[in-house]
Amino acid sequence: MTAVRIPPTLRGEVGGERQVEADGASVREVLEDLARRYPALESQLFEGGQLASFVNVYLGGEDVRTLDGLDTAVDGHSMILLPAMAGGS
């Protein structure tokens, strides 16, 4: 099981939990397990089967986009979901 930290903006989709556990050997498998267990998360995490452009996923402190993306092996690391922030002037 992989510990996945949930940001405040997505906690409503997981019953208010700050952290949930999910199964999978890769980032994709962990996120797909989350989406199966919490269906409201699927549209928040995926666009056309790929990681949504407005979601950042960190595994062991590294952005998975700089690693092997959704194919990155989890290897016991914890995962953090962070929606991209916009704003400014």
For the stretch 49-83, pLDDT in tens is: 898 888 999 999 999 999 999 999 999 899 999 98
Count Cα atoms within 13 angstroms, Cβ side, for 62.
Answer: 13
CATH superfamily of this structure's domain 2-83: Beta-grasp domain (3.10.20.30)
Q: What's the pLDDT score for residue 31?
A: 96
- Residue percentage of the chain with pLDDT more than 70: 94
- 65-71 — which CB contacts under 8 Å span 24+ positions? 69/27, 70/26, 70/27, 70/28, 70/31, 71/26, 71/27, 71/28
Domain boundary assignment for the chain: 2-83
Residue 64 structure tokens: 């998975």
Cα–Cα distance list, 89 to 53, 67, 83, 86 (Å): 21, 32, 20, 10
pTM: 0.89
